[in-house]
Structure 1
Amino acid sequence: MNSAPSSLDIEARYSCARTLALEAAQLGMSHYRQRNTLLVEHKGNDLQDVVSIADRQIEDFIRARLAERFPEDGFLGEESGSSDLAARCVWVIDPIDGTACFVNGLHNWCVSIGLLIDGEPHLGAIADPNHNELFHGCLGQGAFVNDTPLKVSAATNVAQGLTGTGTFHPRGKEHFIPFLEKLLAEGGMFFRNGSGALMTAYVAAGRLLGYYETELKSWDCLAGLVLLKEAGGQVNDFFRNDGLIRGNPYLVACPGVYQQLAEMIGPSLDG
């Protein structure tokens, strides 16, 4: 893939992503404090897949700001769909990643704003207002939580820490229990907080050794993938077979345990 040319103002987009993620997260907090009054709907027949008026309002807010600042850029959002996906720069947004946590009063949700340039994750910002943390990074510039540099764990075995894992969508969930059995058999321990963006950021920060999801959507991980790469982590071939739109099985990990986790998952990871 081509590197971003100097004609693209990467720094302006990086600065905007950080500022906008923080502003959107504070907007989210105003809804979160009044969550008992929120209108919550279910997507299709899946009672676990919920969306609130807060999701839609925050995505509209982010989308309008980006369209004003960078009208030539494309957009892909969880709630409002896509536009101009053939553009060189495409923003990939999750207004509230962890909506089920959000509506149930659990402090495990965030705002995730990522940017693809020529099809490659180039920068990202993940704002967690409950813990006053902004995870952010840009290719070639490192990754940070607030002002602290991120670095993946130096562990060489899953028994040396926690592994994030989860399953949600029907596609692929049959692989979840077999993976957990193998992880536990190897002395590992699993962790799940309901937010793919945050768990990816936690791998980049060395808090988790890795994170496996039987199926994840791109808006849940796009911003985090930049952090992971800059922090020294590894990821599977997530974007294959139109993964940007459809989603795919997902594995991110520190180099010392990536292969161990991939072998536990087996052929379904990149099949």
Structure 2
Amino acid sequence: MSDAILCRFEAARSIVRDAADLAMSMRPASGGPTGTQKSAQDWLTEADGAVEALISTRIGALFPQDGFQGEEEGRTRTGRLRWVVDPIDGTSNFARGRNRWCVSLGLLEDDLPVAGIIQAPALNETYTAVRGRGAFLNGRPIHASPVDDTRSAMIEMGWSNRVPAGVFEDKVATMLRLGAMPRSGGSGALALADVACGRLDGYLEMVINIWDVAAALVILDEAGARTSPFVRDGGLERGITILAAAPRIADDLAAALDVPLA
């Protein structure tokens, strides 16, 4: 990986730490929820805008030639290198003072995810990866699960109000028929990170956006997980399906859930 990417990655680690500290300082007390409800189970808090603005400003000052895209403001700058941020992934958890949320920042070179940082400050966890250099949790190497039987698997599925009625239930029923244990934790980025480090054996979400997965895609690749072809199938421009899985059950899981793998 080029020196330019590594330089950006090191700068981004510091920026994400500051952004996570800001988010923690703005986290509501337990209870709630606190914030604005955009649609069913889709929340927006003051911290979402503040964290995104901090990251955008700092990235823009250091690398003005780079593109930038955020969940809240959209694509505000263009460039061959593009930063993509989800300022608070898991906002429904954050809005209730829960711990399972994160700041997610990914870097793309053209259409290729090349670096990613996912920081979950309430959990004291930071996932990082640069393409070709491995994936890490708090500085220690991580790898996808060695599970080779779906009857031993733990699979998470994300919920979205953009999915037709019945689809969530049907996919969870398929997981149960495989003998897997379903879960749902409220943060797509952290669920994908859990697949990368082996805490989960798979994650499925039927409609998810690039800001939710930009950092996770390179972390998953570097950890040896398998994923559906998110970028190839149009995920840079619209919300689409993602499946990430431990390599030894990936084919069986993809076939049962009717999701192609890359």
TM range (shorter): over 0.9
Gaps of 5+ in 2: none
Give distance in 2, aligned partners of 1:164 and 1:253.
10
Give distance in 1, aligned partners of 2:177 and 2:109.
41
Q: Deviations over 1:150-192 (max 9, x none)?
A: 1001111222131111221323564221111111112110111
Residue 211 of structure 2 is aligned to residue 219 of structure 1: yes
Structure 1 SS opposite 2:20: helix
Aligned to 1:89: 81
Structure 1 SS opposite 2:249: helix
Structure 2 SS opposite 1:76: strand
Residue 146 of structure 2 is aligned to residue 147 of structure 1: no
Code of the aligned partner of 1:57: A
Give distance in 2, aligned partners of 1:78 and 1:24.
15
Of 186-195 and 163-172, deviating more is 163-172
Give distance in 2, aligned partners of 1:196 and 1:130.
16
Q: Deviations over 1:197-235 (max 9, x none)?
A: 101110000110010001111111110111100010111
Give distance in 2, aligned partners of 1:233 and 1:64.
33
Aligned to 2:23: 28
Checking the alignment, whether the CA contact within 8 Å between 2:107 and 2:113 is kept in structure 1 is: yes
Of 190-199 and 33-42, deviating more is 33-42
Q: CA deviation at 1:240?
A: 3.7
**Equivalences for residues 163-178 of structure 1 within 5 A:** 163-171=155-163, 174-178=166-170
Residue 53 of structure 2 is aligned to residue 52 of structure 1: no
Aligned to 2:61: 68
Aligned mate of 1:19, from 14, 23, 41: 14
Per the alignment, do residues 182 and 149 of structure 1 end up closer, same or farther by CA in structure 2, a change over 3 Å counting? same
**Equivalences for residues 1-271 of structure 1 within 5 A:** 6=2, 9-33=4-28, 40-43=35-38, 46-85=39-78, 87-171=79-163, 174-266=166-258
Checking the alignment, whether the CA contact within 8 Å between 1:127 and 1:135 is kept in structure 2 is: yes
Checking the alignment, whether the CA contact within 8 Å between 2:28 and 2:96 is kept in structure 1 is: no
TM-score by length of 1: 0.90
Of 15-24 and 203-212, deviating more is 15-24
Checking the alignment, whether the CA contact within 8 Å between 1:76 and 1:90 is kept in structure 2 is: yes
Checking the alignment, whether the CA contact within 8 Å between 1:152 and 1:203 is kept in structure 2 is: yes
Percentage of pairs with the same residue? 38
Checking the alignment, whether the CA contact within 8 Å between 2:29 and 2:96 is kept in structure 1 is: no
Per the alignment, do residues 152 and 37 of structure 1 end up closer, same or farther by CA in structure 2, a change over 3 Å counting? closer
Q: CA deviation at 1:40?
A: 1.5
Give distance in 1, aligned partners of 2:33 and 2:62.
30
Checking the alignment, whether the CA contact within 8 Å between 1:214 and 1:248 is kept in structure 2 is: yes
Give distance in 2, aligned partners of 1:24 and 1:129.
10
Of 155-164 and 63-72, deviating more is 155-164
Q: CA deviation at 1:249?
A: 0.6
Q: How many residues align?
A: 261
Of 185-194 and 120-129, deviating more is 185-194
Give distance in 2, aligned partners of 1:166 and 1:37.
22
